[in-house]
Amino acid sequence: MTVSLYDRLGGYDALATFATMVVGTAQTDELLGRFWANRNEDTNARDLQSLIDYLVRETGGQMYYKGRDMAMAHKGMGITDADWTRFIEIVVNVAGQLGVGPDEGGEVMGFLDTLKADIVGA
């Protein structure tokens, strides 16, 4: 039986911790912080939960994602290649801190790569 990426990453709590750390770092990052300027706490909390729901669904967990698709969610933000590179650095750092193994880390990277065209320059 194949075990889902969701289960291999450690399930809901592991993904929630991962998303919280990535978003928290991005929000205070010198380059990326501008995307979250002037947004209120409740909006940020809602978006974080939306990201968690999305990641759970995409990795094979049980979740009904109510948000927009990635092109729609990021359209008009002007996310550049440099922003993307920084975002990936943050993901790699957080995955390292959380002890994500090389196989799962590789799968997460492969998944993110499939989203890049929808998010960068959208």
d(CA 32, CA 77): 11
Stretch that binds ligand HEM, among 1-9, 10-18, 46-54, 92-100 (CB under 6 A): 46-54
Contact (CB, 8 A) for 104 and 3: no
Q: Which is nearer to ligand HEM, 1 or 91 (CB)?
A: 91
Alpha-carbon torsion, ordered 54, 57, 63, 65, to 10 deg: 40
Enumerate residues 6+ apart whose C-beta is below 8 A from 36: 26, 27, 44
Residues in the chain: 122
54 counts as binding ligand HEM under rule CB under 6 A: yes
List the x/- string, 57-96, binding to ligand HEM by CB under 6 A: ----------xx----xx----x---xx--x---------
112 counts as binding ligand HEM under rule CB under 6 A: yes
Enumerate residues 6+ apart whose C-beta is below 8 A from 119: 70, 71, 74, 79, 84
List the x/- string, 21-40, binding to ligand HEM by CB under 6 A: -----------x--xx----
- Binding residues (CB under 6 A) for ligand HEM: these are 32, 35-36, 47, 50-51, 54, 67-68, 73-74, 79, 83-84, 87, 112, 115, 119
